[in-house]
C-alpha cells in the first residue's frame, strides 16, 4: 500500500489488491454495483444466495460512522443478475477525503462491475416535488468539485481513466428510459420525478437562504453524497444510474421554515424503501448487461 495516502490516495495497484482481497471472501463475481443511501439498505435483505463481507474485514477499506449505514458489502443475485451492494457508504462530512469517499467504486470496477446504481436520500428543492417522491438523476451539480474539492484532484493514472474526463452524460440515458418505463409498469407514475441533484458537503442541513440559492442554480434536490461516486464511475467507464428518495422538502420561505432531522430522513426512507426496491429489482431484471 502507498505510505502516504493522505497525499496520494490509492494507487492502481492498491485498488487491485483490495479488490482481490474482497473477492477471496466471496464466491460471486458481480456485474452490477449498488450503493444504498440512508435508510435504503433493506435492498440487501432480498439478495439471493447472499454473502456478506464487512468493511472491517477488508484491509485498507474505510468504515462508515453514520446511523442507517451498516458497513458491509453484500454479494449475490437480484433478478438472476450478479450484484454487489454497499450497505453503507462514506461521506465527506465524516472526515474522509474525497478520494477515499469514492474509492469503493474503483474497487467494484476492479471486481468486474460495468453498471453502477446509486441511491440516496435527498431534500426536495423543486416546489412541484413532495416528500416520498422518487427522482431519477438526469444530471448533477458538483458543488464541492466546483469549489476545489473534486474527487479527481491529484495525480491521475490513465489506467483509471483520462486526466480530463467529460461529465456530460454521466447518467446513462438508456438506463433512465428503462427506469421510467419500469416505473410506469409498476404504477409509480404519480411519484416519479426527474431532475438535477446538487451535492453539498454537510453535515449541516441547508438554511433557507442556501436552499433558495441552490434552487436558483437549477437544482431539484440536494444531498451530501452520490456525486463523487458518480464522477469516479464515469471516469473509469462505468455506466451510471442514480435515483433520489425525497425524504423532506427544503424550506424556501421563512414563513414556512421547518428543521430537517436525520431521524425524519430515515423514517421516510423506511416508509418508501419498498417501492424503490421494487423499482430497482424490476430494472435489473430487464437490464442488458452487455450494453456498456
**Mean pLDDT, 10 residues at a time, the chain of 292 residues:** 57 96 96 87 90 93 74 95 94 93 97 96 95 96 96 95 97 97 96 97 94 98 97 98 94 77 69 87 89 49
This prediction's pTM: 0.92
Grid coordinates belonging to 289:
448487461
* Integer-rounded Cα radius of gyration of the chain: 18
Candidates 277, 288, 90, 120; CA nearest to 195 is 120
CB 132 within 8 A of CB 244: no
Residue 68: predicted pLDDT = 58
Grid coordinates belonging to 203:
453535515
Angle between helices 262-285 and 173-186 (to 10 degrees): 100
Residue found by looking up cell 453539498 in the block: 200
Q: Which residues contact 70 (CB under 8 A, 6 or more apart)?
A: 41, 64, 87, 88
Grid coordinates belonging to 152:
479527481
Residue 266: predicted pLDDT = 67
Grid coordinates belonging to 239:
455506466
CA distance 106 to 232: 7
The angle subtended at Cα 74 by Cα 116 and Cα 85, nearest 5°, is 20
Grid coordinates belonging to 252:
424556501
Which superfamily is assigned to 91-96+109-285 in CATH?
Nucleoside phosphorylase domain (3.40.50.1580)
Q: Which residues contact 143 (CB under 8 A, 6 or more apart)?
A: 198, 199, 200, 201
CB 212 within 8 A of CB 198: no
Amino acid at each position: 500500500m502507498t505510505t502516504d495516502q493522505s497525499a496520494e490516495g490509492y494507487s492502481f495497484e492498491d485498488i487491485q489488491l483490495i479488490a482481490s482481497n474482497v473477492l477471496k471472501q466471496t464466491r460471486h463475481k458481480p456485474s452490477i454495483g449498488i450503493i444504498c443511501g440512508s435508510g435504503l439498505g433493506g435492498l440487501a435483505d432480498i439478495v439471493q444466495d447472499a454473502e456478506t463481507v464487512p468493511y472491517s474485514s477488508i484491509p485498507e477499506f474505510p468504515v462508515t460512522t453514520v446511523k442507517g449505514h451498516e458497513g458491509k458489502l453484500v454479494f449475490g443475485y437480484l433478478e438472476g443478475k450478479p450484484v454487489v451492494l454497499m450497505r453503507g457508504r462514506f461521506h465527506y462530512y465524516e472526515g474522509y477525503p474525497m478520494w477515499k469517499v469514492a474509492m469503493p467504486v474503483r474497487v467494484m470496477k476492479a471486481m468486474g462491475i460495468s453498471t453502477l446504481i446509486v441511491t440516496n436520500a435527498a431534500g426536495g428543492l423543486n416546489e412541484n416535488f413532495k416528500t416520498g417522491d422518487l427522482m431519477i438523476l438526469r444530471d448533477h451539480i458538483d458543488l464541492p468539485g466546483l469549489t476545489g474539492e473534486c474527487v479527481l484532484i491529484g495525480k491521475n493514472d490513465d489506467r483509471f481513466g483520462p486526466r480530463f474526463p467529460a461529465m456530460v452524460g454521466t447518467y446513462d440515458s438508456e438506463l433512465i428510459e428503462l427506469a421510467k418505463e419500469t416505473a410506469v409498469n409498476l404504477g409509480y407514475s404519480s411519484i416519479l420525478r426527474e431532475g438535477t441533484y446538487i451535492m453539498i458537503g454537510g453535515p449541516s442541513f441547508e438554511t433557507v437562504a442556501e436552499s433558495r440559492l441552490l434552487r436558483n442554480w437549477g437544482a431539484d434536490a440536494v444531498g451530501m453524497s452520490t456525486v463523487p461516486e458518480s464522477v469516479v464511475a464515469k471516469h473509469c467507464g462505468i455506466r451510471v444510474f442514480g435515483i433520489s428518495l425525497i425524504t423532506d422538502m427544503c424550506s424556501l420561505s421563512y414563513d414556512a421554515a421547518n428543521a430537517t432531522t436525520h431521524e425524519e430522513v430515515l423514517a421516510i426512507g423506511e416508509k418508501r424503501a419498498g417501492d424503490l426496491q421494487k423499482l430497482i429489482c424490476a430494472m435489473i431484471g430487464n437490464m442488458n448487461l452487455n450494453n456498456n
